[in-house]
Structure formats: C-alpha cells, structure tokens
Amino acid sequence: MSTVSPVLTTGIPGIDLADHPAAPRPDELRLTTGPLFAGVAQAGDFVDLTRHRALWGEQPHLALPDLVAAAAHAGLRGAGGAGFPTDRKLASMAGRRVTAVVVNANEGEETSAKDGQLLCHVPHQVLDGAAAVASATGCGKVVIRLAAERAAVVAAVRRAVAERTETGLQWRVDAVPHRFVSGEATAVIRGLGGDTSLPQDLGLPPRDPRARVRRGSVFLSNVETFARLAQATRGHAPTSALVTVSGAVARPGVYEVPRTWTVADLMARVGLLEHPGIVVTGGWHGAWARWADLARVPLDRDAFASVDARWGAGVLVVLPTGVPLREVLAAIAARLAAESAGQCGPCVFGLPTLARELAAGGSAEHAMAEVDGRGLCAHPSATVAAVRSALAVIERGDT
C-alpha cells in the first residue's frame, strides 16, 4: 500500500481507515482450547460430517420447550453483538408458523472474524444448531445468509450443506454482496423476500396484511449462537470465549480460550507489541476501554459491562499508544457513516456530519443528539453510543 497521511491512519497494521481498503478482517484461526473448534488440529482443517458425528454424535431432537430450557440453562445470549437472550427468542416462536430458520453469517462487523472461522472449520456445529431450531419449531427450511465476497466461507458452507442428511429439511445458501448493515437482522429478513438487504421497520403494521400471514415468522440468529445452542442441546454450557483480536498485536486473529481467562491472559498469547493504552471492545459499534480498567477483566459479557466495556461480537482492537485518538475516532465514525443504508435522512446526513465535526475537533454533541434514536435500524443510535463511549475514554486519558 502507498504511503498514507499519518493524520488519517490509525497506525494499526492493516487498518487504514482513510483509504477504506478491503475490510481489515483479522481472518485467521490462531488458538483454540475450547469445545467449539474441537477436531481442528491446525488452521485450515475442515471437520466434515463424519468426523463431527464421531466427536459429538447425532443432533438430538428437542421439543421447543426443552430447547428453550437448554438455552436458558446454558445462559445463551446472541453472539452477533446485541446479546439478546436466546431462550427468550426461541420462546417467542411458540405457536407460530416458522417459515425459515436463518443463520446470519453476514458478520458485517469488520473487526470480527469468528463466524467465518467457525463456518470454515466446524460448520456442522453451526448447522446442528440450526437443525435443532428447525426441528423444534416444525420448520422445513434453513437459510445460511452470508457475504458473497468471502469466497472461502461460502465454499465451506456449501460443502457442509451438501453433507447434511436430514430428511424433510431444505438447506439454502444465500450469498449476497456485503454491507455492514446487511447483517442487521431486519435487513436479512427483508432480503429473504428477494429485496435488497437493507434494514426495515418490523414494528409498523404491514402495508398488505396478507403479506405477514403468507410469510409467517422467521427465526434468525448469529453463527456462533447456533453453535453454542447445538452444544447446549447436548448439555454443555459455554466454557469458552470466542474472541477476534486485532490492532497493535503480534498475532491478530480468532482465539477460542477459556472464558475465565482475563484480557491480559489472552493478550499474553496474542503478543502485545507495546504497553497498550486503549482497547476498542465489541467492535466499531462497541465501547472504548482503558487497558488499565480492562486488563484484569475475564472474557465474559457481564464482566465487560461492569467496566463499561462491551462484549458485542467478541472483538478486541488494541490501539497503538501514541495514535491521535480523536482522529482515530473520526475515522471510525466516517467508516460507520459510509455504511449507512441510505434510507433514513437523519442517518444519511447526520452520521457524516457527526464524523466531520469529530474530525474538526468539535464535541459533535449537537449532531449526536440529532441522530440518536432516529432511524429504522439500530445503526445510527449504536454509532452514537460508540462515539460517546470513545469520547468519555479520551476525556479521561489513556493511562
């Protein structure tokens, strides 16, 4: 890559926010000491269905109430970012006609690579979870929705789907051009109808009341969530954390490690390039945290929340010390602004304004107030929350 202005780069290897190159996804499997990647001896191993069944046995059939109970017992939360309790999402399917179980593999958060790595190495962990939901809800179709650009992931999923043996269950691999918001749940659901993958408002009454009846309900969840659910149906509560680490580290990539490890324990394996100052947690939509506050925290959603960090999609981006933090923030805000679906005025105009005001050194408080809570998906409000968190950390200083 050509030389870039120091003002516009984060200084993070591979993450140049100004030129917006291919996504800086730290797409490499580094270390697995947990159950999700069982059977994978080294990066690149594909656990096929025969090997998967030898390790885990057949996918047990659970009735919906039992599946709900298994998810609740394991304490499962959505692993795509929002962290919604999986048992409640499952319970909401009771008495409904479920037309599709959707594995949301868009992984729009570009600092995350865990979902792609799961699908490339252990796809049947994920597909087992989807099959469990389909059988519990009496649904005959599973759709795996993913970004067409990630050819290796698409190929792995197609290979895995071809191996499945369920009778009466249709598997569909749906590869669509990527956008950050394409992974937003309402966008995925809308895309199922053949529309473009942009968010929509599911709260308003449908314009044609028959449309909703015809479509029925869709159960959608994140890749990792389905894998965790498959484990839960076999009585295993999650013991591992799945984390994507990037930034000023020696070995960026995806790590499955015990969730009792602290951030510092993990970083000892990842290899810090220097004493860190600030870590972006959860993803670009997440929260900034000071290393001093984060280092001793276990790799756990609630523990992260207790120090105002965010688990989100299991992301840690270590900012190099000495980078101009406000400029990094402005660049991230610009990146998020560019990902607007272009549907809602306050998002279309507000996010670029917000990014510009940050770049100009302003507080951007007025712009944030004008964007917050306005729009039909979570993108603008989540962006504002992330910026507020970052500004609070910058205000306090990084040591």
Partner 1 sequence: MSATLTIDWNRCQGHGVCLAAFRERLAADRWGYPKGIPTSGTLIPADEIGAARTAVATCPAAALRLT
Restricting to residues 230-289, name those near partner 1 by CB under 8 A: none
Nearest residue (CB) to partner 1, 198 versus 325: 198
Among 144, 270, 376, 384, binds partner 1 (CB under 8 A): 376
The total of other beta-carbon atoms located within 10 Å of residue 73's CB is: 12
**Any contact of residue 195 with partner 1 (CB under 8 A)?**
no
Applying CB under 8 A, among 263, 375, 379, 384 the residue interacting with partner 1 is: 375
Q: Applying CB under 8 A, does 191 fall inside the site for partner 1?
A: no
Q: What is the bridge-based pairing of β-strands 253-258 and 29-32?
A: parallel
Q: Does 204 bind partner 1 (CB under 8 A)?
A: yes
User: Which residues on neighbouring strands pair with residue 315, listed in sequence order?
Assistant: 244
Considering the complex, what minimum distance in angstroms separates the CB of residue 378 from partner 1? 9
Nearest residue (CB) to partner 1, 168 versus 194: 194
Q: Which is nearer to partner 1, 10 or 383 (CB)?
A: 383
With CB under 8 A as the rule, give the number of residues binding partner 1. Answer: 18
**Rounded (10°) CA dihedral 296, 299, 303, 309:** 80
Q: Which stretch binds partner 1 (CB under 8 A): 114-122, 283-291, 296-304, 366-374?
A: 366-374
Q: Please identify which residue in 303, 370, 385, 394 interacts with partner 1, judged by CB under 8 A.
A: 370
Close Cβ partners of 59 (under 8 Å, ≥ 6 residues apart): 128, 131, 132, 230, 233
Cβ proximity to partner 1, 229 vs 336, nearer residue: 336
Q: What are phi and psi of 285, to 5 degrees?
A: -85, 0
User: What CA–CA distances, in Å, run from 373 to 20, 84, 199?
Assistant: 27, 19, 15
Token pair, residue 293, equals 């506050």
The reply on whether position 189 binds partner 1 by CB under 8 A is no
CB closer to partner 1 out of 71 and 376: 376
**Footprint (CB under 8 A) of partner 1, residues 340-359:** 343-347, 349-350, 353
CA distance 200 to 379: 12
Q: ∠ CA(272), CA(111), CA(274), 5° rounding?
A: 15
Q: Which stretch binds partner 1 (CB under 8 A): 39-47, 56-64, 373-381, 383-391?
A: 373-381
Answer left, alpha or beta for residue 86, where phi above 0 means left and psi between -120 and 50 means alpha. alpha
- Cα(48)–Cα(39) distance, rounded to whole angstroms? 10
From CA 380, how far away is CA 345, in angstroms rounded? 11
Of these, 195, 201, 274, 302, which contacts partner 1 (CB under 8 A)? Answer: 201
The smaller minimum CB distance to partner 1, of residues 74 and 376, is found at 376
200 binds partner 1 (CB under 8 A): yes
**To the nearest whole angstrom, how small is the minimum distance from the Cβ of residue 196 to partner 1?**
12
Residue 11 interacting with partner 1 (CB under 8 A): no
Least distance CB 339 / partner 1 (angstroms): 16
Site for partner 1 in 140-169 (CB under 8 A): none
Burial 126-151 (b: 16+ CB within 10 A, else e): bbbbbbbbbbbbebebbbbbbbeebe
Closest CA to 102 of 137, 54, 67: 137
Pick between residue 41 and residue 204 the one whose CB is nearest to partner 1: 204
Listed ranges 10-18, 76-84, 147-155, 200-208: which one lies at the site for partner 1 (CB under 8 A)? 200-208
Closest CA to 140 of 79, 216, 70, 237: 216
Question: Counting contacts by CB under 8 A, is residue 21 touching partner 1?
Answer: no
Query: What's phi and psi for 319, nearest 5 deg?
Result: -80, 135
Q: Which residues bind partner 1 (CB under 8 A)?
A: 200-201, 203-205, 343-347, 349-350, 353, 370, 373-376
